[in-house]
Structure 1
Amino acid sequence: MIEESGRVVALAPGAVWVETERHSTCSGCSVRSGCGHGLVERLGIRERRGLILAVSDLRLSVGDTVVVGIRESVLLRGALLVYLFPLIMLFTSAVVASELSAAEPYVMLAGLGGFLVAWLVVRKRSQQTAVDPALQPIILRASMTVAMV
């Protein structure tokens, strides 16, 4: 289970909205001085807080510090679907077009078409699973740590 601490900012039926602080690894990276992400981090341009709707059966109130968890398998399957599946579709459709002796512009269009189809599949799948409680973050426990600033 992957865990993250946060603070309850709103209540919903059977769930709570939790504000978490996003952490960066820029302080430990050896190329942070030449990285665009590191520059954005130093300037403070990027929003540092995120909101998560987490399923909860605990009696919580606004301001409580909690620990939110999500199963590793859910995160891994989601990452594969969102990142790897579109790339596989892009390359597969381009290779198929190339093997059919299509001209280069058509191979490129086939690759983009495969990527678009994968994007539509990912979008449809995410809409279908958005309400599946087995795939949602959950409140593991109320924490006794000091609330985030």
Structure 2
Amino acid sequence: MIEERGRVLSVEADAVWVETMRQSTCGSCQARAGCGSALLQKVGIGNRLGFIRVSTDRSLQVGDQVTIGVPEQAVVMSSLLMYLLPLVLMFAAGLLLQEAGLGEPLVILGAFSGLIAGFAVARAWAGRRGSKALLQPLVLTGPLPDGPQTVELNSCRD
């Protein structure tokens, strides 16, 4: 589980909006002298607030400190979907058109079309699967809900 501390900004009927501060590990990195991320961190561009909507049944109030978490499987699957799928479709479309004997401009246009198609498929998949409990962030710590509750992360599989 990938965890992040945050503060509750807004409370809805079945969810809360949490503000998190993106943390950098530049202070412990050996290559920080020649790194672009460390330079951005120094000028303050890397310090951005993140806002995320988290479904919960806990009794939270504005200002509560909470820990939210996202399952590693969700991060890995989303990364593969958003980065690998468009690249695979781009190369597949380009190679197919090249093998068909088309000219270089059409091969480039076809590869670009494959890339765009990959992003479209990824967006459609995310829209369909984004509401699945396994892919949603959870409130891990904070005020406890009323009554005993058990959360099983592995109960939802797709």
TM-score range, shorter chain: 0.7 to 0.9
Aligned-pair identity in percent equals 38
Q: CA RMSD in A?
A: 1.7
Kindly tell me the number of residue pairs found equivalent between the two proteins: 143
Q: TM-score, normalised by structure 1?
A: 0.87
Relative contact order higher in (CA < 8 Å, ≥ 6 apart) = 1
Corresponding position of 2:56: 56
Instruction: Give deviations 1:77-133, integer Å, cap 9, x for gaps.
Output: 111111111111111111111111221111111110100111111122222233333
Q: Secondary structure of 1:93's match? A: helix
Instruction: Return the offset for 1:5.
Output: 1.1
The 8 Å contact of residues 74 and 135 in structure 2, kept in 1 or not, is answered as yes
Corresponding position of 1:112: 112
Structure 1 CA distance, aligned partners of 2:21 and 2:63? 14
Corresponding position of 2:85: 85
Corresponding position of 1:15: 15
The 8 Å contact of residues 9 and 63 in structure 1, kept in 2 or not, is answered as yes
| Structure 1 segments of 4+ aligned residues over 4 angstroms from their partners | none
Structure 2 CA distance, aligned partners of 1:35 and 1:102? 42
- Structure 2's unaligned 5+ residue stretches are 144-158
Corresponding position of 1:124: 124
- Is residue 2:24 matched to residue 1:24? yes
Opposite residue 78 of structure 1, the aligned amino acid is S
- Structure 1's unaligned 5+ residue stretches are 144-149
Corresponding position of 2:156: none
